[in-house]
Amino acid sequence: MQKRIPNTLLVIAILLIGLGGLFSVKFTPPKPVELQSGFMFPEAFALAPFELVDQHKQAFTNANLTDQWSLFFIGFTYCPDICPTTLNKLAAAYHELKKIAPIQVVFLSVDPKRDTPDKLLSYVNFFNPEFKAITGKQTQIFPLTRSLGFTYAMVGEGENYQVDHSAGYVLVSPQGTRVAVFKPTAALGQAPQVLNEALISDFAKIVNSYKPQ
């Protein structure tokens, strides 16, 4: 004779099965966003506190990163190729990027000895007056570049020294956290660059998938 399962035990078993399914869905890790030109970090990274100055001689701090996306890259105004190429490409992509979400382009000069605010103003205005150009003392610049994942080094001696520096972009969220990096590719005989088509497409993917932590 087959024993019957008491109704109470049957209800408990059904509830446990249901809860197991619920938790398996809830705690399934989201699929990473696939980008054409870089990658999105698994977790947003808080930037170190910083206080620099922009091309208008106004303070530029972590507070200037809130309520909009920020696209950072580093360089110097005496750069012979990568910096002017990058600024020219970003000027061309800027209108399309702004259609997706509020965004500011931030050029961080790591050559404060030569790149005064006045020099940065005339330099960046040639490409787009809406772009931000910031700098400061090396002791102020370094914590921010490290937080963003950029590297740079002075090369040579005398007045005509150069600066080797990262050629990619870093995207910072409206909460002031590092979210993604865009890496350049180099064609034969050309300076490394991030293709605008890929940048615009990837930015849209990030904005649509991003959830503040």
Q: Which residues are annotated as a binding site for Cu cation?
A: 79, 83, 165
Contact 200, 36 (CB under 8 A): no
Known binding residues:
79, 83, 165
**The three-state (H, E, C) secondary structure of the chain, written as one string:** CCCCCCHHHHHHHHHHHHHHHHHHHHCCCCCCCCCCCEEEEEEEEECCCCEEEECCCCEEEHHHHCCCEEEEEEECCCCCCHHHHHHHHHHHHHHHHHHHCCEEEEEEECCCCCCCHHHHHHHHHCCCCCCEEEECCHHHHHHHHHHHCCCEEEECCCCCCEEEECCCEEEECCCCEEEEEECCECCCCCCCECCHHHHHHHHHHHHHHCCCC
